């Protein structure tokens, strides 16, 4: 007994020692090199860009922490990605628009105008509708889309789904849920909250010596033919970028593709424009890419089309990621898998007669439509100073005074962020839900609470040097930059959540304020059941990190997803 107490004493002393090491005030020898970051200016006023689930959760955290918060949203309603409309986004530029443009070219009034600045245009109604559509950017989801994470995991913790909610959530339900959360916090479009700006796109954000200035453009239809734009310029101490990851499409740069697009307008589409499968009735359709968008669209279109080809390329990444094989297992047998496209031949007189050459030498023709399920690019048109395409995927810049460290280079990943969230050279610029393979509905809460504490001086924040050290280690651990750089998956999500819980709860002990609980352990079991049902044979998926935040190791369920008992289990109301 004595020994146990002694061991307990030693270990708590060690823990206390570690704690003191982390939290101790500066010793005299360290005075010139503080071990915590000091904000360059006090933070009181915060701009949140985006009223999706991430932006709304951060609005809550910052306003509850006593900050003055403005919320900007280009759409007329809250909901973000989950706000479905029959109206689809505009055609994706082929080839891709330059990365600095992303999905829109900022619209700014000429230099020297006085803000707020208003202009009204009269055009034909078609042109007016075009500009309004470009301004709001319809979201990349389709009519039948349902969640690919189960309800108990895809939920805002403050407002859990009612008992009995089906696990596979239709988008209508998700958008109502997010709007209800916005209303609960008084920031929905009809709440007449003077701090919310709907129909308002952020056009430019720039750092000054004492904070950030933000230029926004509100676009209002004053009649079918007339549109009024009002630009505002406002100053903030901190800016939260919660604009989502799926704004700008990625179209692969394949020889001859631009000519096809020019010759056969409307026949080549990106998955973000897909709405209904009936459009492809009796058509021969090529879908490029077979991850979630390509795969799910193929499953639906094949029920109407004459033939569906799906083009895939070798899954080369050796680090943690969603393996292509898992997506392929969801494809129905009547879809024809083909290899990677090498080139699009010179267009013939019709798309049906034109040929595509695969890298393996096969030629395909007789197509009616091509859908690119080839993903998206990280783009922030309102932050052009931090976009440096000349660096490509791997180039870097020296970390010296006067050199701006990039956020975006080729659009495959985000750079220069501590914890994938704080811009290291200026940590009052924050990114919410920059990662993927975590769960946006919960992850946003951890990142937002961290920033709210750091900016209010109620959590210690590492020095710039220590932040770069964390980042350099992340670059190494994640096998360098590229499309998987922001991937979290099971293990990293759990490590990150544990880190946030430890850091923020230590901070609460030291400075007071909100504590945070980790996610419930039953999420693991829920994920296991869901994965088995969704990805089929669990023996195949025994070692992949699923996108539900769980590593499935030797699962104890040995049924495939079609088993009626599992279906009942997953979709019934037991939870
Ligand atoms: C087809 C598809 C299906 C998906 N399915 C799932 C799923 O089943 N489960 C899941 O967990 N996740 C899914 N996701 C991921 C989805 O993005 C997240 O669920 C969630 O929407 C992320 O929330 P967010 O607030 O970070 O971003 P978003 O929901 O994308 O919200 C960003 C908001 O910012 C606004 N905005 C953008 N730029 C500006 C600007 N310049 N000025 C003002 N406002 C701006 C946008 O209009 C938008 O409202 C899916 C994504 C796609 C593309
Ligand atoms: N709820 C739902 O049912 C649902 C539906 C759709 C999307 N989503 C979500 O939306 C997000 C985006 O998914 P996404 O599928 O649109 O994008 P994504 O995950 O980025 O996948 C794009 C895919 O296209 C492939 N690709 C790119 N260029 C290619 C080429 N030239 N030839 C063949 N394949 C190519 C990529 O392969 P490489 O790895 O080789 O680059 C990758 O597999 C994800 O978070 C996803 O979960 C959810």
Distance of CA 207 to CAs 239, 286, 404, Å? 10, 45, 12
Q: Is residue 39 part of a domain?
A: no
Query: H or E stretch including 496?
Result: helix 489-511
Task: Give the number of other CB atoms < 10 A from CB of residue 277.
Answer: 19
Q: Is residue 448 part of a domain?
A: yes
Query: 284 and 385 in one domain?
Result: no
Q: Is residue 400 part of a domain?
A: yes
Query: 550 and 504 in one domain?
Result: no
CATH number, domain of 467, equals 3.50.50.60
Index of the ligand 2 atom closest to the CA of residue 483: 41
Query: 189 and 102 in one domain?
Result: yes
Q: What pLDDT score was predicted for residue 34?
A: 65
Query: 359 and 426 in one domain?
Result: no
* Cα of 279 from ligand 1 centre, angstroms: 25
Nearest CA to ligand 2 atom 34: 289
Distance of CA 389 to CAs 53, 86, 129, Å? 30, 34, 32
Query: 112 and 236 in one domain?
Result: yes
- Ligand 2, CB within 6 Å, residue ranges: 145, 147-148, 252, 271, 288-289, 291-294, 296, 311-313, 324, 340, 373-375, 436, 483
Task: Using the 3D structure, point to which of 503, 519, 535 is the last residue of a domain.
Answer: 519
Per-residue exposure over 289-322, b if at least 16 CB sit within 10 Å of its own CB, e if not: bbbbbbbbbbbbbbebbebbbbbbeeeeeeebbb
Q: Is residue 23 part of a domain?
A: no
Nearest CA to ligand 2 atom 38: 315
Range of the domain at 542: 251-374+527-571
Phi, psi of 350 (to 5 degrees): -140, 165
* Cα of 429 from ligand 1 centre, angstroms: 19
Task: Using the 3D structure, point to which of 519, 538, 556 is the last residue of a domain.
Answer: 519
Ligand nearest to the CA of 47: 1
Q: Is residue 127 part of a domain?
A: yes
Index of the ligand 2 atom closest to the CA of residue 324: 43
* pTM of the shown model: 0.90
Helices (H), 66-214: 125-136, 171-184
Query: 439 and 342 in one domain?
Result: no
Choose the residue to mutate in 175, 292, 343 for probing ligand 2, maximizing ligand atoms within 8 Å of C-beta. 292
Query: 434 and 297 in one domain?
Result: no
Query: 440 and 426 in one domain?
Result: yes
Question: Are 464 and 425 contacting, i.e. CB atoms less than 8 angstroms apart?
Answer: yes
Query: 543 and 501 in one domain?
Result: no
Query: 422 and 507 in one domain?
Result: yes
Q: Is residue 25 part of a domain?
A: no
Ligand nearest to the CA of 177: 1
Q: Is residue 470 part of a domain?
A: yes
Query: 277 and 225 in one domain?
Result: no
pLDDT by residue, tens only, the chain of 575 residues: 333 333 333 333 333 333 333 333 333 333 445 689 999 999 999 999 999 999 999 999 999 999 999 999 999 999 999 999 999 999 989 999 999 998 999 999 999 999 999 999 999 999 999 999 999 999 999 999 999 999 999 999 999 999 889 999 999 999 999 999 999 999 999 999 999 999 999 999 999 999 999 999 999 999 999 999 999 999 999 999 999 999 999 999 999 999 999 999 999 999 999 999 999 999 999 999 999 999 999 999 999 999 999 999 998 898 988 888 888 888 888 899 999 999 999 999 999 999 999 998 999 999 999 999 999 999 999 999 999 999 999 999 999 999 999 999 999 999 999 999 999 999 999 999 999 999 999 999 999 999 999 999 999 999 999 999 999 999 999 999 999 999 998 889 999 999 999 999 999 999 999 999 999 988 888 888 888 788 765 444 333 333 323 222 223 333 344 444 444 444 443 33
How many domains is the chain partitioned into structurally? Answer: 2
Give, to the nearest 10 degrees, the angle between helix 53-64 and helix 171-184.
20
* Cα of 135 from ligand 2 centre, angstroms: 25
Q: Is residue 14 part of a domain?
A: no
Query: 293 and 272 in one domain?
Result: yes
Q: Is the CB of 202 under 6 A from ligand 1?
A: yes
Q: What pLDDT score was predicted for residue 293?
A: 97
Q: In angstroms, how far is the first alpha carbon of the chain from the final one?
A: 43
Choose the residue to mutate in 181, 198, 243 for probing ligand 1, maximizing ligand atoms within 8 Å of C-beta. 243
């Amino acid at each position: 007994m004595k020994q146990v107490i002694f061991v307990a004493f030693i270990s708590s002393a060690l823990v206390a020692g570690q704690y003191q090491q982390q939290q101790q005030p500066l010793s005299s020898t360290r005075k010139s090199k503080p071990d915590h970051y000091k904000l360059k200016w006090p933070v009181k006023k915060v701009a949140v860009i985006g009223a999706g689930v991430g932006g709304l959760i951060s609005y809550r955290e910052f306003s509850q922490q006593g900050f003055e918060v403005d919320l900007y949203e280009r759409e007329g309603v809250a909901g973000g990605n989950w706000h479905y409309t029959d109206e689809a986004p505009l055609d994706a530029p082929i080839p891709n628009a330059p990365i600095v443009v992303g999905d829109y070219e900022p619209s700014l009034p000429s230099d020297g105008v006085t803000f707020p600045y208003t202009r009204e245009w009269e055009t034909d109604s078609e042109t007016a509708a075009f500009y309004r559509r470009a301004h709001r950017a319809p979201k990349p989801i389709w009519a039948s889309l349902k969640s690919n994470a189960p309800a108990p995991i895809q939920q805002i913790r403050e407002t859990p789904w009612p008992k009995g909610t089906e696990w596979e959530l239709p988008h209508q339900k998700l958008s109502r849920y997010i709007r209800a959360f916005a209303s609960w916090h008084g920031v929905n479009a009809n709440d007449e909250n003077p701090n919310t700006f709907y129909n308002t796109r952020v056009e430019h954000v720039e750092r000054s010596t004492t904070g950030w200035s933000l230029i926004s453009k509100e676009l209002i239809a004053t009649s079918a033919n007339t549109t009024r734009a009002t630009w505002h310029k406002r100053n903030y101490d901190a800016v939260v970028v919660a604009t989502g990851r799926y704004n700008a499409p990625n179209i692969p740069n394949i020889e001859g593709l631009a000519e096809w697009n020019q010759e056969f307008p409307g026949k080549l589409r990106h998955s973000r424009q897909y709405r209904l499968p009936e459009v492809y009735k009796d058509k021969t359709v090529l879908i490029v890419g077979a991850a979630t968008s390509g795969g799910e669209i193929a499953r639906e279109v094949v029920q109407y089309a004459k033939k569906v080809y799906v083009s895939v390329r070798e899954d080369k990444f050796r680090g943690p990621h969603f393996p292509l094989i898992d997506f392929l297992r969801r494809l129905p047998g009547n879809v024809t898998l083909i290899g990677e496209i090498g080139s699009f031949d010179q267009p013939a007189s019709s798309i049906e007669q034109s040929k595509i050459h695969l890298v393996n030498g096969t030629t395909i023709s007789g197509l009616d439509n091509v859908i690119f399920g080839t993903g998206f690019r990280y783009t922030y048109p309102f932050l052009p100073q931090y976009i440096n395409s000349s660096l490509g995927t791997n180039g870097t810049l020296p970390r010296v005074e006067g050199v701006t460290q990039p956020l975006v280079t080729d659009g495959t990943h985000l750079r220069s962020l501590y914890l994938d969230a704080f811009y290291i050279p200026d940590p009052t610029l924050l990114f919410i839900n920059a990662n993927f393979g975590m769960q946006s509905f919960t992850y946003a809460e951890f990142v937002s609470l961290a920033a709210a504490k750091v900016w209010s001086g109620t959590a210690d924040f590492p020095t710039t040097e220590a932040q770069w050290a964390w980042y350099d280690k992340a670059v190494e651990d994640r096998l360098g930059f590229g499309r998987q750089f922001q991937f979290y998956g099971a293990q990293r999500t759990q490590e990150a959540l544990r880190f946030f819980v430890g850091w923020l709860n230590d901070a609460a002990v030291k400075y007071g304020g909100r504590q945070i609980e980790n996610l419930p352990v039953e999420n693991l079991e829920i994920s296991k059941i869901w994965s088995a049902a969704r990805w089929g044979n669990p023996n195949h998926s025994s070692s992949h990190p699923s996108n539900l935040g769980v590593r499935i190791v030797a699962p104890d369920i040995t049924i495939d997803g079609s088993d009626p008992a599992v279906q009942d289990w997953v979709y019934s109301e037991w939870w």
